[in-house]
Structures are given as structure tokens and as C-alpha cells.
A = this chain, B = another copy of it.
Amino acid sequence: MSGRVGIVGIGHTPFGRRSDATVQELAAEAFRAALADSGLDRGHMDAVVVGSVPEYHKQRSLPGVVQEYLGLTPKPTWLTEAACASGSAAIRTAWMSIKAGVHDVVAVIGCQKMTELETAEILALMGRVGEVQWESSFGSTFPGYYAMFARRHMHEYGTTREQLTAVAIKNHFYGARNPLAMFRKEITAEKANASEDVATPFHVFDCCANADGAACVILAAEPRARGLRKPPVWLSGMGCASDTMSVLRRPSLTGLGSAQAAAAQAYAMAGVDAKRVRVADVHDCFTIAEVLAYEDLGFCAKGEGGAFIAENRSYIGGSTPVNVDGGLKAKGHPIGATGVSMTTEIVKQLRGDAGERQVPDADVGLTHNVGGIGQYCFVQVLTRDE
């Protein structure tokens, strides 16, 4: 492999309902912010990779419309889709294009408008991300799958309803401190438990929300990445793995095989272990998903995820602060944008630019992004120079 790939610019729109902007306008908002952050010009971009799930938009061919809007034709562009992990898949292909020596500087834009369609249309589309022939055609949905994981985790390991709520409380605590988050309000256990049932054991506050938004990272090859406005943050470990489409074919419901495999790849490539991770952004589409992530990533032992949050170990000051940007739960989940958003947060942390949410001594960070119901997982280990 050739030299390292660094992140030299980040940009991020507020997440939430953005009826003021088209998807290409959101993309441009994040891209312009990332350009300014890097000090590079538009003309320095060798290619643009878009991470998005096209079918939520009236406009298809997003790379085309984004490329025109940014004035970057005829430069190369492509789109990657891996359900909710589409943004991380986009970063991965951009990273490979630079390591391959094909491109030197690449902008990755995760962008998604979830509010163009009616809720019923969104539900119909989301159902199709589950296995259609034997599962979703019989009524399985995302909340249903994850609720099943939660019930099984409770049964096998004694995880409690209160521990799940504690995840939501933590993420709202940090979301309240993130100016880009959709929900900027702290919540109490009472409020969470009084919220409407979704799928036992989940209430509304166990679930993340559909949102509009975009995030951008600009990647550059090692020599090019130095001497720009900010010191580069390196993509030091890149994992990518899959699991069966059919949840019924999995040996366990209390962990995601794709996450475990992707984490092992990323740790090995970066030459670090879970203990070395100072800050992480993980895919908390539902509260149980963050508990599974603690375990799948090795932040705690199997079955101890409930205790991990109950003991505040994923807060700043704990052993591994997780989702101190609010996570999907409070920041919102514009699906294609989420993976890129995660990376921008870890870059901020490793730069020491996270303000009141700053994790002390954050020199090694991690992102963990899950697509579908664990059909895909992408794990990144990010580092900075000493």
C-alpha cells in the first residue's frame, strides 16, 4: 500500500427538517464549509463521491445534480449505497481511490433529504431494506428487528429497560450541546418512559429520527494533506464487512457479525486495540444498537453493554466516550449523511475543536456505521500526528 490518506477539511449542515433547501443545496452547504475549513479551492478536487440512498429523493442521479450544482463537471463522480452506511461506504471508496494513486484530493459528500416523501412511503421503502422474500413481506420492520435484539439481550444478559433509557439520556445530553443536532434538549427517564410505545421494549425515545442534512469530508494523499489550514486526521484503520440479509440465518441476535469483523479489520490495520480508542461515534439507530456496539467494538465484554452505560463509562470522563455529538438519536439520522457526519465529529475531537463536548486527550478515534440490520458495517480508526 502507498502512503496515508488524511482528512483535511470537514463541513456539516444542521440536521433536522430542512424544507428551505434541496438535496443539492444541502450538499453544497456542507461542501463549501469543508472547502473553507481546508483552505483548498473547488478546482483542487479530483473527484466527488456521494453517499446517499437515492430513492428517498424525487431527484435521482444525485452525483450528477450535485456535480452540476458545485460546478465540478466534468470531474469524476460516483455514488455508493449501503443503506444507512452509505456515507461510510463513500469514504471507503474515496480512500481507496487515493491509496490507488488514481486521485489525490477527493471530496466525499453524504447527503439526504428524508422529508420529501410521506411517512408511509418512507416506511414502505425502509421495509425493503429487510429481506423481502421471507422477512419484511411478513411485516418485519427496523424497530421490530432491533426490538427483537433488545429482548434477546435482556433475556441472555439481564440488560434492563433503564439501561436502554440511559443511552437515550446520554445522547440527548450531548445533543443539547451540539449546535448541529436536530434535538437539542436533555431528557429525563420519566419523559422517555412516558413516550409512546413503538415496538416492545422501545418507546419513541429509543428510536432515532429521520432527518435532512449533509456532511462533507475532503480527503488527500499524505504529501498533499500536509501544510493546509488544519493538521490532517488520518484514516488509519478501515474495516468493512457484511452479514446475512436474512436475520433468521444469523447464529446470534445479540451482536452484529459485520461489526465484529469490520472492527477486527480496522484495529489490525491501525495497529491499535479497543482500549486505545479515546472517542467513538457509533450507529445508535435504536438504544440497543449502541449497547451492541459497545460489545461488538470491544469497549466492554459481551453482555456487559448495559452495565457500561449504567456506569456512565460512555460519557466524557468514562473509559470510552461514545456519541458525544448526540448520536443518531439526538443529532438526527439523514441516512446517507450519517457516516460522513460521524467522521466529521471524530475529526473535530482529534483536532481538539469540539468545544464543550471535547474529550480530553482524544488522539485515537473510531466511527462505526451500520447499514440495514447489520448487513453492512464500516469501522474507521482515525489518528492524528503526535
> Which chain A residues have a beta carbon within 8 Å of chain B's beta carbons?
1-2, 22, 47, 54-55, 58-61, 63-65, 67-68, 72-83, 89, 92-93, 95-102, 125, 128-129, 131-133, 238, 240-246, 249, 257-258, 261, 371-372, 375-376
The dominant DSSP class at the A interface is mixed
Partner of A81, one of B54, B67, B371, B376: B54
Q: In the complex, given contacts A64-B371, A78-B92, what are 14 additional A-B residue pairs having Cβ atoms less than 8 angstroms apart?
A: A1-B100, A22-B133, A55-B55, A58-B128, A64-B242, A64-B243, A65-B131, A77-B240, A79-B89, A80-B93, A81-B81, A99-B99, A99-B100, A102-B238
Residues on B with C-beta less than 8 A from A65 are 131, 245
Find out whether the CB atom of B242 lies under 8 angstroms from the CB atom of A76.
Answer: yes
Partner of A63, one of B59, B61, B73, B82: B82
**Oligomeric state, in number of copies?**
2
In the assembled complex, the CB of A331 is this many whole angstroms from the nearest CB of chain B, namely: 23
Find out whether the CB atom of B80 lies under 8 angstroms from the CB atom of A78.
Answer: yes
In the assembled complex, the CB of A61 is this many whole angstroms from the nearest CB of chain B, namely: 5
In the assembled complex, the CB of A6 is this many whole angstroms from the nearest CB of chain B, namely: 15
Find out whether the CB atom of A101 lies under 8 angstroms from the CB atom of B101.
Answer: no
In the assembled complex, the CB of A379 is this many whole angstroms from the nearest CB of chain B, namely: 11
Residues on B with C-beta less than 8 A from A89 are 78-79
Chain B residue at minimum C-beta to C-beta distance from A60: B128
Find out whether the CB atom of A83 lies under 8 angstroms from the CB atom of B60.
Answer: yes
Chain B residue at minimum C-beta to C-beta distance from A103: B96
Find out whether the CB atom of B83 lies under 8 angstroms from the CB atom of A257.
Answer: no
Residues on B with C-beta less than 8 A from A61 are 82-83, 128-129, 245, 371-372, 375-376
| A102 touching B93 in the complex, CB below 8 Å, given contacts A61-B375, A242-B74 | no
Find out whether the CB atom of A81 lies under 8 angstroms from the CB atom of B79.
Answer: yes
